[in-house]
A and B are shown apart, each in its own frame.
Chain A
């Protein structure tokens, strides 16, 4: 797994890396599950059945409390959402970038693969849900309910860009235990100033535009 190394970052800035499973494997030590107690430590222990893990998992307890929502209809296309949701299509089209490479859709697809089967199964057939990235430069995300009960969730471009810019700069500080990464192209000691400059730009730009950095706008239609 990545480990802290402010002085000796050995990753590269761009290019392909191994998927998270490989990235996060601690190759030089015993697995966590063999050396530590607690929930994390109990992961993968053969003596515990999946049912036992589910019963004792804090996440399972949370999920049990969450599964009380009212499912609605299946996922709709943009014009379907506009028609059924009472939102002018032109407004939605301006707001939501269409296409398979929409950042919001891609991230949500990833979240879906992470979700427990129980939750994903409820969402898939029943939920009328649209997720998309907007061109809005404010650093924000929002959720709203369409007129007929569907759900619309948007990520603003200002937020997605900022997350990537910060992640890209900070990745210079991440070390990889497998030693496969070449040295970074930039001295990690130089990381803070470019990030500070990006933040100056973002905050100044957003202030001029009347936006703010608060993530997640007040609930409801905006």
Chain B
């Protein structure tokens, strides 16, 4: 399987993990009251954390750094792609959304990355592929020229 297929499938797995997180955390049984954006956004962040736990836990517990690096890159790519799409719009979809902005979700993932990495050198290694992708994203967004 080529790199792009593998990365896209990993990103899909991350999104499925997020959706499964909603189920496991029983969010459908306690749906946010209409208009309570804080509640629903917190549920989304919690579902992110659950999905990442599904993806990362076995690699961390088995001490498999190769697997962890790859799965982290896939999770990051899923959010970075959504951020790219939103950044290309003149107005963000997430200002009054039930979902937190992709930037906030990426920040949450980044917090986890820093915690797991432990030092700057490991963190930079972890972020090598995401940083490459972000640089390309910035170039794409610049073409749209919304200046957001």
Binding site for B on A (CB under 8 A): 1-6, 11, 13-17, 20-21, 23-26, 31-33, 35-45, 48, 50, 53-54, 57-60, 62-63, 66, 69-70, 103-104, 106-108, 110-111, 114-117, 119, 131, 139, 141-145, 151, 153, 155, 159-160, 162-164, 166-171, 173-174, 191-193, 195-196, 199-200, 202-203, 212-216, 218-220
Q: Quick one: closest A residue to B50, CB to CB?
A: A66
**What residue in chain A is nearest B126 (Cβ atoms)?**
A40
Chain B: number of interface residues, binned into ranges = 35 or more
**With the chains together, A170 CA to B112 CA distance in Å?**
24
Given known pairs A24-B66, A32-B125, the reply for A139 and B85 (CB within 8 Å) is yes
Interface positions of B (Cβ within 8 A of A)? 1-13, 15-28, 31-32, 40, 43-44, 47, 49-50, 52-71, 73, 77-78, 81-82, 84-86, 88-89, 93-94, 97-99, 112, 115-119, 121-122, 125-126, 128-129, 131-133, 135-136, 139-140, 142-144
Chain A residues whose C-beta falls within 8 Å of the C-beta of B50 in the assembled complex: 62, 66
Which one of B18, B53, B89, B139 lies within 8 Å of A63 (CB-CB)? Answer: B53
In the complex, what residue of chain A is closest to B127 when comparing beta carbons?
A: A4
Are A16 and B93 in contact (CB-based, < 8 A)?
Answer: no
Residues of A within 8 A of B93 (CB): 212-214
| A residues less than 8 Å from B121 (CB atoms) | 35-36
Q: With A63-B57, A203-B88 in contact, do A58 and B16 touch (Cβ < 8 Å)?
A: no
Given the interface pairs A15-B2, A62-B50, the reply to whether A1 lies near B125 with Cβ below 8 Å is yes
Given contacts A59-B60, A144-B28, A153-B20, whether A213 and B65 have CB atoms under 8 Å apart is no
Q: Are A171 and B86 in contact (CB under 8 A)?
A: no
The residues of A that contact B122 with a CB separation of less than 8 Å are 32, 36-38, 40-41
Query: Are A114 and B58 in contact (CB-based, < 8 A)?
Result: yes
Give the residue of B25, B85, B86, B118 whose beta carbon is less than 8 angstroms from that of A39.
B118
Q: Which residues of B contact A107 (CB under 8 A)?
A: 9, 12-13, 16
Q: Which of B3, B15, B52, B136: most chain A CB closer than 10 A?
A: B3
Question: Is the beta-carbon distance between A17 and B68 smaller than 8 angstroms?
Answer: no
Report the nearest B residue to A33, measured CB to CB.
Answer: B65
Q: List, in ascending order, chain A residues with CB within 8 A of B65's CB.
A: 31-33, 40, 43-44
Query: Does B61 lie within 8 Å of A60, measured CB to CB?
Result: yes
Kindly list chain B residues whose C-beta atoms are within 8 Å of the C-beta of A139: 82, 85
Contact B12 A36 (CB under 8 A): no
List the B side residues contacting A15 at CB < 8 Å: 2
Closest 6 CB pairs of A and B: A38-B118, A59-B57, A107-B12, A168-B4, A43-B63, A111-B13
Knowing A171-B7, A220-B31 touch, does A21 contact B67 (C-beta < 8 A)? yes
Assembled-state Cα–Cα distance A57/B58 (Å):
10
Given the known inter-chain contacts A6-B135, A173-B132, please indicate yes or no for A196 contacting B126, CB distance below 8 A.
no
Return chain B residues, CB-CB under 8 Å to A54.
61
Contact of A174 among B23, B59, B132 (CB under 8 A): B132
Within the complex, the shortest CB–CB distance from B3 to chain A, in Å, comes to: 5
Given contacts A57-B61, A62-B50, A164-B4, contact A193 B143 (CB under 8 A): yes
B5 touches A141 (CB 8 A): no
**CB <8 Å contact, B118 and A4:** no
Contact indicator A219/B6 (Cβ below 8 Å): no
Please measure, in the bound complex, the distance between the C-alpha atom of A44 and the C-alpha atom of B49, giving whole angstroms: 24
Cβ-defined contact, B53 with A45, below 8 A: no
Residues of A within 8 A of B63 (CB): 33, 42-45, 48, 53
